[in-house]
Structure 1
């Protein structure tokens, strides 16, 4: 299933900047950054639960916010890309340098 994860982390303190880096790193382990604080993650239910636990453990709910958009298994019909930064297919071929 495709999950779109967005977050807003308070970064005026060193602790906030550390939370931002850690949340971003966890999201990168499960998906692709498509905007500064937006990730598309193609995960199964177990991976989704693991990712949520990891990033919610990092956040400060009094200062930060997370949003999860469930696009499901039929996500390709729900995502359109226009403009700069070429889109990608997470189910496509992965080329490594």
Structure 2
């Protein structure tokens, strides 16, 4: 069993601002422990002779030409904003917000 603790789950929930009940914390502790254990099992079988694969089927990007079209003026873009200073959107500050 992995070393995921109840305190770690509580800490992560706090960082993510997710309110968990004591039962949910117990469940998440157990489930996260199982996930970590399963990842460790996969890491054991991953060897240097097996190439890393991000997707089992080769993918190809589909590109389209980059064509300049109509764009909004600053006035048009700001017309629906709740608050602006004439050239930029104004939003409330979030810097320094407590966790």
- TM-score bracket for the superposition, by shorter chain length: under 0.3
TM-score, length basis structure 1: 0.21
Higher-RCO chain (CA-CA 8 Å, sequence separation at least 6): 1
Q: Which structure has the greater CA radius of gyration?
A: 2
